[in-house]
Amino acid sequence: MPQVSAFLFPYRRFRTDVDGVHIPRKMNPGKNLIVLSEKLSEQSEKYINRNILHKVAHCYLRHKSLRLDNLSKHETNRQEDEADKLDGHWLSKKSN
């Protein structure tokens, strides 16, 4: 199982349609970064938890950055689908 290291900290300068970003290990040697928008604090606890788990899933799956690696639409969709499935799996295990 790959080890995931992540830092969570608020960031105000996101576009309005972005809740957070995953910055992969290759862009910050040795550490994955998760940067969250402060606007998340206005959302429900369920939404916040799902969003954070989704970003952790990207780290765990060693995905490339959707915005920083200029991924194709197909690759972006594939990575998003994988992260959605994994965070959903984690959430379903928690509720059992």
Segment 56-76, tens digit of pLDDT: 999 899 898 877 788 999 999
Return the percent helix, strand and coil in the chain, to nearest 5. Answer: 50, 15, 40
User: What percent of the chain stands above pLDDT 90?
Assistant: 29
3 DSSP assignment: -
1 confidence band (pLDDT: 50, 70, 90): very low
Residue indicated by tokens 């998340």:
40
Q: State how far the Cα of 85 lies from the Cα of 46, in Å rounded to an integer.
A: 16
29 confidence band (pLDDT: 50, 70, 90): confident
Tell me, what's the pLDDT at 5? 54
Q: Which residue has the higher pLDDT, 53 or 36?
A: 53
Global pTM value: 0.78
What mean pLDDT do residues 83-92 have?
A: 93
